[in-house]
C-alpha cells in the first residue's frame, strides 16, 4: 500500500480495497521502523491518527467522503496543530502545544485527512539542508550520508521513503522546491496569498508561503485544491476563486511557450543537472511546446537581496520569543535582562542567531536605507524581469538546484556556499510567483529537479505541464535503492 500515490489510495478507499484504518496502521508501522534511520518525523501521532482513520471509515460507510477522506498525510512542524506539539524544529518551542489549528491544518481536517505526525525541519525554516533542526538532521533516503534539502526536508524525506503519500510544507526561499528536487518528489510553492499563512509560524512574512508536497503533480493538485482559498484571518491572503486544478491536468501542451532563462545555465550549475534539465526541455518540445530564450537580468541579485530582506523580517518576527510569554525559559534568571539573554541564547540555534543579528543590523539606524531599502528596490526589479518575460511566454523552466544532494557538513562552515544552493529558487519568492519542482533525472545516483515558474495564480497551467511531463517520463516513480533492495 505504501507505494500507492494519494490518487491511487483515494481510488482504493472508494473501491474498498482497504480501509483507512488498515492504510494508516500500515504507514504508522513503516514510520516506526524507518524513522530512526531517516529522522523525518519530530512527532508521530499514532493514537490520534488511528482515531481519525476510524472516523473516516465511518464517513465513507455513510456515503460522506470529502476530497481527502481517510487519506494519510503529514504536516511540517511549522503549522500549529491543536493538542499536538508544534516545535518549528527549535528548542525554543520544544514544549509548545498550540490551542488552535493553522488554517491549512483546519482545511485538511475538514477534507477528512488523517494526520500521521509532524515532520522535521530546519529550525524556524532557516536552512537549505535540514542540518539546523534541534532534533538532529534529516537523512536523504537516496543517500543517508547526504542532506535532503531544507527547510522542508522532513516532508520530502518522508515522501521519498514511502512513509507518507502527501505532506504540507512551507517555502520562504525554496524550502519546498529544493528538498523536493534533492529527494526526487514533487513540490509546489503557490502564488503568495493563494494559501493562508494563519497559524504557520512566521520566518519572513512577505516571503513565506504554505504549499503541498507529494510524489506526483496529480497528488499536489489534489492537496492544493483543499489548501487554497481566502482566509479573513490572514491579511495577506487574497480573495480569488480557486480553480479546479484536476480538471486541466490532461490538456495537451501544443502551443505552450516555455521561457528558458540564459542566466540559469551559467557558472555554478552541475553539468549533470544541466543535461537532465535540457533533456526535460526536449520532452516538452516533443509534446508541442515551443522553447523561447529569455533573460532575467537581475536574477544574480536575488540571493543578496533575499539575505537582507528575510533576516530583517526574521529579526522582527522572532522578537516575540523572549522567555516570558511562551517558549523556552532559562532557569533561575537573576533579572529581566538575564531572562531575555539566556532564554534566547539557549533556545535558538546558531543559524537562527546569525540571521537575527544580520536582520537587526540591516534594520538599525543608519543602515536601513543602505541595506533593507536597497534590497526592496532590487526586489521590484526582479519582479519586473518576470513580468516582462511573461509578456512573451507562458511558463519559465530551468533547474531547481545547481547540484544534487551534498554530504552532511560539506557546506556548514561556509554560509554563503549554503545560501547559493537556493540561487534558482529565491527569485520566485521575492516576486511572489508560483513555482514547482518535479524530478527530471539522476546525477551521481541522486535526484535532480526541474523548476517550473508560472505567472501569478497560474498554478493550474504549471500542474498541467508537470503532469504531462510525468505521464511521458518515469523519474517521479523511482524509489531510493535502499527501498527497492528491502522490498526484493
Residues annotated as catalytic are 76, 151, 175
How many Cα atoms occupy the beta-carbon half-sphere of 354 within 13 Å?
A: 14
Query: What residues have CB less than 8 Å from 452, skipping those under 6 apart?
Result: 395, 396, 397, 435, 436, 437, 438, 462, 465, 466
Give the total residue count for the chain.
488
CB neighbours of 107 closer than 8 A, spacing ≥ 6?
A: 226, 227, 229
Q: CB–CB of 287/403 below 8 Å?
A: no
Q: How far apart are CA 132 and CA 137, in angstroms?
A: 7
| Distances, alpha carbon 371 to alpha carbons 2, 191, 355, 375, in Å | 49, 26, 14, 6
Cα–Cα distance for residue pair 225/108, rounded to 1 Å = 10
Q: DSSP strand E in 303-445: where? A: 395-399, 435-443
| Whether 110 contacts 225, CB under 8 Å | no
Nearest alpha-carbon partner for 97 in 114, 80, 122? 80
374: its cell numbers: 536597497
DSSP secondary structure letter of residue 72: E
Amino acid at each position: 500500500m505504501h507505494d500507492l500515490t494519494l490518487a491511487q489510495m483515494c481510488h482504493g478507499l472508494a473501491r474498498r480495497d482497504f480501509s483507512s484504518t488498515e492504510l494508516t496502521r500500515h504507514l504508522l508501522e513503516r514510520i516506526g521502523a524507518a524513522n530512526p534511520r531517516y529522522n523525518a518525523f519530530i512527532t508521530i501521532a499514532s493514537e490520534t491518527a488511528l482515531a481519525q482513520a476510524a472516523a473516516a471509515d465511518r464517513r465513507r460507510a455513510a456515503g460522506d467522503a470529502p476530497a481527502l477522506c481517510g487519506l494519510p498525510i503529514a504536516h511540517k512542524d511549522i503549522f500549529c496543530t491543536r493538542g499536538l506539539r508544534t516545535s518549528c524544529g527549535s528548542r525554543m518551542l520544544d514544549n509548545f502545544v498550540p490551542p488552535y489549528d493553522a488554517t491549512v491544518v483546519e482545511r485538511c481536517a475538514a477534507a477528512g485527512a488523517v494526520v500521521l505526525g509532524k515532520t522535521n525541519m530546519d529550525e524556524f525554516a532557516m536552512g537549505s539542508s535540514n542540518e539546523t533542526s534541534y532534533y538532529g538532521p534529516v537523512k536523504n533516503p537516496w543517500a543517508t550520508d547526504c542532506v535532503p534539502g531544507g527547510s522542508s526536508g522532513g516532508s520530502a524525506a518522508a515522501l521519498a521513503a514511502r512513509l507518507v503519500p502527501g505532506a504540507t510544507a512551507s517555502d520562504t526561499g525554496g524550502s519546498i522546491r529544493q528538498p523536493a528536487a534533492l529527494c526526487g518528489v514533487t513540490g509546489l510553492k503557490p502564488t503568495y496569498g493563494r494559501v493562508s499563512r494563519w497559524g504557520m509560524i512566521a520566518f519572513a512574512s512577505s516571503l513565506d508561503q504554505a504549499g503541498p508536497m507529494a510524489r506526483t503533480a496529480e497528488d499536489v493538485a489534489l492537496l492544493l485544491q483543499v489548501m487554497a482559498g481566502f482566509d479573513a484571518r490572514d491579511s495577506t491572503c487574497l480573495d480569488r476563486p480557486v480553480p479546479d486544478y484536476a480538471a486541466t491536468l490532461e490538456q495537451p501542451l501544443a502551443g505552450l511557450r516555455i521561457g528558458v532563462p540564459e542566466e540559469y545555465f551559467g557558472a555554478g550549475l552541475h553539468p549533470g543537472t544541466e543535461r537532465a534539465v535540457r533533456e526535460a526541455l526536449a520532452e516538452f518540445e516533443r509534446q508541442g511546446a515551443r522553447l523561447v530564450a529569455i533573460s532575467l537580468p537581475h536574477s544574480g541579485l536575488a540571493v543578496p537581496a533575499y539575505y537582507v530582506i528575510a533576516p530583517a523580517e526574521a529579526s522582527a518576527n522572532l522578537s516575540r520569543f523572549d522567555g516570558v510569554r511562551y517558549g523556552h525559559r532559562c532557569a533561575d534568571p537573576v533579572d529581566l535582562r538575564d531572562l531575555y539573554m539566556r532564554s534566547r541564547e539557549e533556545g535558538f540555534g546558531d543559524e537562527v542567531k546569525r540571521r537575527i543579528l544580520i536582520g537587526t543590523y540591516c534594520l538599525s539606524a543608519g543602515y536601513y536605507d543602505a541595506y533593507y531599502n536597497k534590497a526592496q528596490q532590487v526586489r521590484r526589479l526582479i519582479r519586473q524581469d518576470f513580468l516582462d518575460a511573461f509578456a512573451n511566454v507562458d511558463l519559465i523552466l530551468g533547474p531547481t538546484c545547481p547540484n544534487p544532494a551534498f554530504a552532511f557538513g560539506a557546506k556548514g562552515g561556509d554560509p554563503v556556499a549554503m545560501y547559493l544552493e537556493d540561487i534558482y529558487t529565491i527569485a520566485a519568492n521575492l516576486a511572489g510567483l508560483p513555482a514547482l519542482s518535479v524530478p527530471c533525472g539522476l546525477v551521481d545516483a541522486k535526484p535532480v529537479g526541474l523548476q517550473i515558474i508560472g505567472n501569478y495564480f497560474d498554478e493550474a497551467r504549471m500542474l498541467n505541464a508537470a503532469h504531462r511531463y510525468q505521464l511521458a517520463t518515469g523519474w517521479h516513480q523511482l524509489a531510493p535503492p535502499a527501498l527497492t533492495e528491502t522490498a526484493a
